[in-house]
Amino acid sequence: MGLNTTINVTYDAKFSVFERHLAGLGLIFRERIAVIGVDPPNSTTGAVVANFPSPNLPVSDGTAEQTIARNVSLTVTRASLQEDSGAGDNDEIRCRIRIEAIGLPPDVTPDAFTDQEILVG
């Protein structure tokens, strides 16, 4: 066992025609991949032990679904994957993939208030 290990993630990112039109209007899609420790077994939450670089995906405007094949690797030290308390035990990891949409308006607008009115009596 070496001091470093390479984590490889392969997936297809699929974008609808609507998402592609939004990209044509300036919306950016950014890949977010986090390596998480798996405790308890088979869980989908855990401590983030590493993050892949976060590139923007090349989504283009178009009239059909777009699929972008992704195959990315990250080399980390084996020691960085050891989030368990017992040294020397197996390192259980999984990767969480998220696509972040950058440039959409917020879900809720900032607060705005009317002028104060005083109701007599």
* pLDDT of res. 81: 82
pTM of the model: 0.80
* pLDDT of res. 100: 95
What are the boundaries of each domain within the chain? 4-102
Averaged pLDDT, 1-26: 93
Q: How far apart are CA 113 and CA 60, in angstroms?
A: 40
* pLDDT of res. 115: 87
With 60 as the cut, is the pLDDT of residue 1 above it?
Answer: no
The pLDDT tens digits for 29-72 are 999 999 998 766 666 667 899 999 999 999 999 999 999 999 99
Q: How far apart are CA 116 and CA 13, in angstroms?
A: 50
The secondary structure of the chain in percent helix, strand, coil, rounded to multiples of 5, reads 10, 40, 50
With 60 as the cut, is the pLDDT of residue 120 above it?
Answer: yes
Q: How far apart are CA 18 and CA 62, in angstroms?
A: 9
Pick from 33, 37, 32: which is nearest to 78 by CA? Answer: 37
Pick from 57, 1, 15, 64: which is nearest to 33 by CA? Answer: 57
Q: How far apart are CA 18 and CA 64, in angstroms?
A: 9
Pick the more confident residue, 14 or 80.
14
The pLDDT tens digits for 71-119 are 999 999 988 887 766 656 677 888 999 999 999 887 888 888 888 888 8
Residue 80's DSSP bridge partners are none
